Structure 1
Amino acid sequence: MIKTIIPTNMNLPSNLAKSSVLAFVIFWVIIGSKDYESEVLPYVMLSYIPVFLCVLIVIIGTICPFFWSAKNTGFNNQNVFKTCFPYYAIVVFGICVFGISTSDFDNMAIAFFTSVFITTSQSWIWFAKEKTK
């Protein structure tokens, strides 16, 4: 019998799909509001691949371990959210503000770090709203 790495109380593929689309839209809305050129449209669509990979790494590396570690402790998704999310949000917000300020408020950095913060926060909410068995 093969054990799965992903617990059954998390719908990781659905969360990754929604989060990557959200990050993609936020990033390009911010970039497009200032630096829109119609010649880059084919590259915009192609940029979904690195956006998805970044979202995959961030969610699996920084959000999922909280839910996976709580699997055997009796915590459900809502308890993990209420316990860990406030601290996670504070740390990520600090990192994003630091990244934006050290880049001298470059539009690319603003787009990247804004999409990171909003996407990770929303991903936490999507995981917390999932039904536990």
Structure 2
Amino acid sequence: MKSTLLATIIFWLIIFTENFESDMIPFILLSIIPISICCAITITTTIVPFFWLQNEGTSNSKIFKTYFPFYAIVSFGLCFYGALESLFTISFFASAFFTTMQSWVWFGREKTTN
């Protein structure tokens, strides 16, 4: 849910830098559905397997420190390549990049018990 909110905010902020019309407001609410589907599929297929396949003694922070730099490089390259077309593709790929990077941080945090 946090990833969907982050991606939606980034996506629409980039679009609003070009132009803002009050007619676009209903599209913000409608866009949450496809954005949440994209976030769920992307996170489930590209980030979560690293944490599901960890060994018993391996901590989340070790997984994060080991794999995140490579994931960030590949993700940036693919998103940069995809963003070369128009404002909508830039907003899509920028929101995808920053959302996946932040999702890594959320998954990489150690769970603390209070």
Q: Distance in 2 between matches of 1:32 and 1:41?
A: 11
Residue number in structure 1 paired with 2:41: 57
Identity of aligned residues (%): 50
Q: Distance in 2 between matches of 1:88 and 1:132?
A: 25
* Aligned length in residues: 113
Letter in 2 for 1:38: S
1:42 maps to 2:22: no
1:69 maps to 2:53: yes
The answer (yes or no) to whether the contact 1:81–1:124 under 8 Å persists in 2 is yes
TM (norm. structure 1) is 0.80
RMSD of aligned residue pairs (Cα, Å): 1.4
Shift of 1:53: 0.4
Q: Distance in 2 between matches of 1:73 and 1:88?
A: 22
For structure 1, the 5+ residue unaligned runs are 1-16
Cα 1:130–1:73 change in 2 (3 A) is: closer
Q: Distance in 2 between matches of 1:73 and 1:82?
A: 17
Q: Distance in 2 between matches of 1:57 and 1:35?
A: 30
- Select the residue among 79, 94, 107 that pairs with 1:114: 94
Divergent runs of 4+, >4 A:
none
Residue number in structure 1 paired with 2:68: 85
For structure 2, the 5+ residue unaligned runs are none
1:13-53 CA deviation, whole Å, 9 max, x = no partner?
Answer: xxxx1111000000000011113221121121111010000
- Select the residue among 102, 110, 114 that pairs with 1:130: 110
Residue number in structure 2 paired with 1:23: 7
Residue number in structure 2 paired with 1:94: 77
Q: Distance in 1 between matches of 2:112 and 2:63?
A: 12
